[in-house]
């Protein structure tokens, strides 16, 4: 059996359970492609899975390979795949229920990937799929954001937030972002119209009549967010469904989502990146074997943009 280098977990736990080791090289089943991974982005879901927080939701056979964001090159196509061939440069957010991208190869379903942005290297392309699709699906598909509306984006300098700010601005919305003061110039460069320092101000004192709130923090931030919405506005959470009763009490709506693979949206994101309308911010690049360190940094909850693992 062919082997590859991968980072796997054999049990749930702290960063120390991530092992850089030899693992079986996956084979593409019918309808799948085998991708030589060049870069894999790190997302909070990676360390949440590693720690076992999701084990009642997703039953992984162990050992498993985490990481659900990649950019790479098609190595082989499985039976029935006509749209991809060896050498195609692709990116994607693979199925959360299967082995991920912290390895030299990944087998993915052919319809779930797209050509990576031509203007970006693999490191910057890998940073887009999971966070970019989440931002897209949250603010457009669930939030229904349109030109001229006002959006409040929490954690606007993070992985999801930094894409959400740019996408909302591209759509023609008025964008307000929360982050600590060190990130305010950064948020303005991304297109934010207003910035709020969550460490020195209460956003609910500064903001009102918002059409859409993007909630990526939950807890008391979510509780305090209802009041900034205009009647009929919507709070979209990416951290579990908000209370319908609470929404009703404020005369607003509540939505939530778990990001889904979507090739058409990946193509839109690639086109925006190639036209210079969507920037990818990569704060840290580490080699694959330093995945544990990458997760430790991400777990501080203060990443600006993305952390990416270089595989090739
Ligand atoms: N439902 C889904 O499908 C889905 C998809 C993607 C992500 N998520 C979840 O969404 C959350 C965010 O993901 P992410 O990748 O964007 O995280 P991230 O990149 O780790 O977010 C880090 C950012 O959060 C900011 N931040 C921290 N505390 C804050 C606060 N109290 N108020 C405002 N900003 C704050 C930090 O800014 P400062 O450094 O300035 O504090 C930092 O830039 C995670 O819990 C993740 O698991 C869910």
Place of tokens 């966070």: 131
Residue 256, number of CB atoms within 10 A of its CB: 15
pLDDT for position 97: 94
Considering only CA atoms, which residue is closest to atom 24 of ligand 1?
A: 155
Structure tokens at 114: 């797209």
Burial class (CB in 10 A: 0-12, 13-18, 19+), 176: buried
* Residue 297, SS3 per DSSP: helix
Q: What is the pLDDT of residues 241-275, one digit of tens each?
A: 999 999 999 999 999 999 999 999 999 999 999 99
User: What would the two tokens of residue 112 be?
Assistant: 């779930």
pTM of the model: 0.98
CA-to-CA distance for 64 and 228, rounded, in angstroms? 42
User: What mean pLDDT is predicted for residues 170-198?
Assistant: 98
pLDDT of 290 reads: 98
For ligand 1, mutation pick of 160, 204, 221 (most atoms within 8 Å of CB): 160
Residue nearest to atom 29 of ligand 1 (CA): 155
Q: How far is the CA of 304 from the centre of ligand 1 (A)?
A: 9
Which pair of structure tokens corresponds to residue 68?
């659900």
Q: Which among 182, 216, 239, 306 is the best mutation to test ligand 1's pocket, defined by most ligand atoms within 8 Å of the CB? A: 216
Cα of 283 to ligand 1 centre, how many Å? Answer: 14
- In angstroms, the CA 210 to CA 177 distance is 12
Q: Which atom of ligand 1 is found nearest the CA of 134?
A: 5
Average pLDDT for 190-218: 98
Report residue 121 as tokens: 């290297």
- 167 band by pLDDT with thresholds 50, 70 and 90: very high
How many percent of the chain have pLDDT more than 90?
A: 100
Q: Identify whether the C-beta of residue 95 lies closer than 8 Å to the C-beta of residue 112.
A: yes
The SS3 assignment for 154 reads coil
Mean pLDDT of 31-40: 98
Which residue has a Cα nearest atom 44 of ligand 1?
44
Mean pLDDT of the chain: 98
- pLDDT value at residue 54: 95
Counting ligand 1 atoms within 8 A of each CB, the residue from 41, 93, 155 with the most, and so the one to mutate, is 155
Q: Residue 6 has what pLDDT?
A: 98
Please state, in angstroms and rounded to a whole number, the distance separating the CA atoms of residues 216 and 237.
Answer: 6
Mean pLDDT across the stretch 17-45? 98
Q: Tell me what pLDDT residue 75 has.
A: 98
Tens-digit pLDDT profile for residues 222-236: 999 999 999 999 999
Residue owning the nearest CA to atom 11 of ligand 1: 216
At 215 the three-state DSSP class reads: strand
Task: Return the residue whose CA atom lies nearest to atom 36 of ligand 1.
Answer: 302
Q: Which atom of ligand 1 is nearest to the CA of 237?
A: 1
Query: pLDDT tens-digit profile of 103-138?
Result: 999 999 999 999 999 999 999 999 999 999 999 999
Strand partners for 178: 196
Binding pocket residue ranges, ligand 1, CB within 6 Å: 43-45, 131, 134, 154-155, 157-161, 178-180, 182-183, 198, 216-217, 221, 238-239, 257-259, 298, 301-304
| Residue nearest ligand 1's atom 15 by CA | 159
pLDDT, tens digit, 9 for 90 and up, residues 70-80? 999 999 999 99
């Amino acid at each position: 059996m062919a082997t590859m280098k991968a980072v796997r977990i054999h049990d749930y736990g702290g960063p120390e359970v991530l092992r850089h080791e030899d693992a079986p090289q996956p084979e593409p089943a019918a309808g799948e492609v085998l991708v030589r991974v060049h870069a894999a982005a790190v997302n909070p879901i990676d360390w949440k899975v590693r720690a076992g927080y999701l084990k009642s939701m997703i039953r992984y056979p162990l050992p498993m390979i985490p990481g659900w964001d990649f950019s790479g090159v098609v190595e082989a196509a499985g039976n029935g795949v006509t749209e991809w061939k060896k050498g195609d440069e692709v990116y994607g957010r693979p199925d959360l229920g299967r082995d991920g991208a912290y390895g030299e190869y990944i087998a993915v379903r052919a319809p779930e990937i797209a050509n990576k942005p031509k203007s970006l290297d693999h490191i910057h392309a890998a940073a887009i799929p999971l966070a970019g699709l989440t931002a897209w699906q949250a603010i457009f598909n669930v939030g229904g954001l349109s030109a001229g509306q006002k959006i409040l984006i929490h954690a606007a300098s993070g992985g999801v937030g930094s894409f959400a700010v740019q996408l909302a601005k591209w759509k023609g919305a008025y964008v307000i972002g929360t982050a600590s003061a060190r990130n305010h110039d950064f948020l303005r460069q991304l297109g934010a119209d207003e910035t709020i320092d969550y460490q020195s101000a209460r956003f609910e004192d500064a903001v009102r009549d918002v059409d859409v709130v993007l909630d990526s923090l939950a807890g008391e931030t979510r509780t305090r967010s209802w009041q900034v919405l205009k009647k009929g506005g919507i709070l979209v959470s990416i951290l579990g469904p908000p209370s319908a009763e609470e929404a009703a009490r404020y005369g607003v709506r509540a939505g939530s989502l778990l990001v889904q693979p979507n090739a058409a949206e990946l193509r839109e994101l690639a086109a925006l990146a190639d036209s210079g309308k969507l920037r990818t911010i990569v704060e840290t690049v580490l080699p694959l074997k330093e995945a544990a360190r990458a997760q430790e940094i991400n777990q501080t909850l203060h990443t600006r943009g993305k952390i990416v693992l270089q595989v090739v």
